[in-house]
Copies of this chain bind each other. A is one copy, B any other.
Amino acid sequence: MGAVPTHMSSETVQITTNERLEVVDITDQITNAIPTNTTGTITVFVEHTTAAVTVNEGESRLLGDFETALDDLVPDGGWAHDQIDDNADSHVRAMLVGPSVTVPVADGSLQLGTWQSVLLVECDGPRTRQVQIVA
């Protein structure tokens, strides 16, 4: 047990979505929030239980395919939580994708592969979402 590194940075960006189920490329917003001297990894963490974050290709038809896949894998209704708040499908979809990704960074630049983008997976929009970027 010892002290952890104290020179951390944390930024929050807001992302506004337009559909109930919508996959959005947020690479530019993440890139702009990373301090230029950052080397190592950043964690992109969405502060919500009906949205998720992943990394994949930002091609528009593929983003729609992700939406279709999540809609097909998880039924819209028939959940116990719907008795309280009618969005259990949104929670289950978000859980399958996960709330965060950790991505390599060098000198403030995301070390993504050629086709990789950081994607916000909105599962209960439209909303404005808070995304933390912690270096």
Contact = CB atoms under 8 A, between A and B. Distances in A.
Interface of A: 1-11, 35, 37-41, 43, 45-49, 54-57, 59, 61-62, 64-66, 68-69, 73-74, 79-81, 83-84, 88, 91-92, 94-104, 106, 111-116, 130, 132, 134-135
A48 B2 contact: no
Given A61-B84, A74-B69, A35 B99 contact: no
A71 to B, nearest CB: 12
Contacts of A97: 95-96, 98
Contacts of A94: 56
B102 A43 contact: yes
Given A43-B41, A104-B132, A99 B111 contact: no
A49 B57 contact: yes
A96 B75 CA distance: 16
A92 B63 CA distance: 10
B5 A9 contact: no
Given A59-B84, A94-B56, A135-B4, A65 B79 contact: yes
A97 B101 CA distance: 12
Residue picked from A4, A10, A91, A96, most chain B C-beta under 10 Å? A4
